Amino acid sequence: MAHYLYEQQRGRGVPIMRHSASPPRRWLQWASSLVLIAAGCADPPVEAQVASAAPSVPAGQARIWFYRNWLPSESLNLANIDVNGSYYGSVANGGAFYRDVPPGHYHIAPVSYNRDVNQNRDVDVAPGQQVYIKILTSQSWDGACRDCVRDTFYAWLIPQEVAHAEIVRDHGGS
């Protein structure tokens, strides 16, 4: 119920609205806002869609996973991945993907503005095997520019148990 004040205008009262919402409605708006804020701070639901729910590795194939932990202070640029000298895919900050490949030797090289030691990784995969490559970012390393921020990506081979936990925790299974 709205409350009105009366103002004298040329000798007669003119209603002026003082409050647009009644106290119970205002409380409901306040409580709804608080619930939305709390929901925005909650962790996303963890789905078991990562490696355990992904389709099984096709017969005679191997699987290479690529992922990046969600780090809001790191580069939001895509990390482009070259495998054996050809573009293979891109992984975003907080993203993950995999490729099924024939067994063999693979040279994994994240595309970077700068070159550093230990950026690339060589892996040998056997039929049915899954390997996990974590892509890390270093924006503070730049040999060519003192005041520039350039993406330098690194590929690290991570044990399966650790990678599963990181992907589930940081990516919610996506």
pLDDT greater at residue 68 or residue 76: 68
- 89: tokens are 């895919």
Residues 70-79 have pLDDT tens digits of 887 677 788 9
Please give the pLDDT value at position 138.
Answer: 79
| Type of residue found at 74 | E
| pTM of the predicted protein model | 0.65
Class level of CATH domain 62-171: mainly beta
Angle at 117 between CA 72 and CA 92, to 5 degrees: 25
Domain boundaries, the chain: 3-41, 62-171
The answer to whether residues 81 and 110 touch, using CB atoms and an 8 Å cutoff, is yes
* Distance (Å, whole) CA 143 – CA 117: 12
* Distance (Å, whole) CA 68 – CA 75: 11
Residues 140-161 have pLDDT tens digits of 655 556 666 678 899 999 999 9
